Structure formats: C-alpha cells, structure tokens
Amino acid sequence: MVTKSNKSQHKKLSIKQLNAIDLLVQGLTDREVARKVGVRRETVNQWRKHHLEFQAELNRQRQNVWGIAKERLRYLVSQATKTLEKEVDKGSLRAAVETLKIVGLYGKVGAPKGYTSAEALELAKEERECFDGMLRRLWKPLFKRHRIEKQIERLDRLIMELRHNRGETDVFGLLSPSGTIPKDMHSGRKRP
C-alpha cells in the first residue's frame, strides 16, 4: 500500500521489485517469486540481501501484514472466549478443562489455607516475631566477626606489602625517613 511517507521509496523501486515484495510478504520462496516476476532467483536473492530500499520496503510491508494479522487474532481471541464460554455453559468437560489449563489453574487448585481462629493467627504472629528476633541475635555477632575478619585481612595485606617492599615502609604502611626499617625492627628487638 503506497502512502505519502513511502512514495519516494517506491520511486527507487521498480515495478518488478514491488511485485516481488508483495509475493515475498505472501510467503513465496525466492524461486517462486523470480518465476512469477520474470527475473532470475539470484536477482531476488540479491534484492533481499543487498538492496537497502528493497529491504526497507519488504520490512514495512511485513510489519503492515503482521499488524493486520495481530488485530484479526485479537478479534478471534474474543470470539474463541465466547465459544469456550458457551461450551462450558453447555456442560462440556473438555471445554472446562481447557479453560482451566489456559488460565493456569488446571491441577493446581488446592484447599484454601490459613488459620481460622484469631488465637491461632496471634500465636503464628508471635512465632514469626520470635523467630525473627532469634535470627537478629544470631546474625549480629556474625556481622561483628565479619568486620573483624575484614580488618584482619587488611592487616595481612599490609604485612604482605611490607614483606614485598623489603622494609621500605614502616609498620603503618608509611615510608620511614631513611627509606628502610631499622634492622633491629625486623628481628623484633627494640632499638637502644
């Protein structure tokens, strides 16, 4: 269908190319299109793979056809729902089962769950709160231990850097005035 927005596009395409696009949109193969349009199969293949205007128009036409088909399918869904509803109303077991499958309830429906007394609900709430409190008490020391372990890892990295730098930094990772740590510090003895 030629519109104002794609008139200039059609000027770049020959009648044979436009006919080929119509046939391709209908689902014909390159060979069938070539035979009907009066060109070689390789020519149709070249148009589809390398001719930008041809590709763009083919894409536009396919999207147009898809949009029309989608609208028709929407209408059919409405009709199918009405038909299914009539069949279920007639007592058709198959229609009823198919309906349950469609909505995802087939084989998944169980008895309603939940407490039926306020006392049971209150007890369940207290149990949840108690459990949450226990979890918080258990996790708090673990978080503290995790922080301590992270600090130990940082100190280990600092010690490894010290060893790697061969004593060119002090214990706190800062460069000493002489550029080295005194020898007696390496051995663990105090300087006089």
Q: Which of 19-23, 123-127, 182-186 is the least confident region?
A: 182-186
Residue 22: predicted pLDDT: 94
This prediction's pTM: 0.39
Residue 13: predicted pLDDT: 93
Beta strands in the chain (DSSP E): none
Reading the block at residue 140, the tokens are: 């708090």
Domain that holds residue 155: 136-192
Q: Which of these three, 59, 82, 102, is where a domain ends?
A: 102
Is residue 82 predicted with pLDDT exceeding 50? yes
Residue 1: predicted pLDDT: 44
Domain tally for the chain?
A: 2
Q: Given the structure tokens 């080295």, which residue do they identify?
A: 180
Q: Which of these three, 79, 102, 125, is where a domain ends?
A: 102
**Are 23 and 32 spatial neighbours (Cβ–Cβ below 8 Å)?**
yes
Tens digit of each residue's pLDDT (9 = 90 or more) over 135-171: 777 777 777 777 787 888 888 887 777 777 665 555 5
108: which DSSP letter? T
Q: List the Cα angle 48/53/56 in 5-degree steps.
A: 75
Residue 192: predicted pLDDT: 47
Could you give the CA distance from residue 141 to residue 144 in angstroms, rounded to a whole number?
Answer: 5
Q: Which of these three, 102, 124, 153, is where a domain ends?
A: 102
Tens digit of each residue's pLDDT (9 = 90 or more) over 46-74: 999 999 999 999 999 999 888 888 888 88
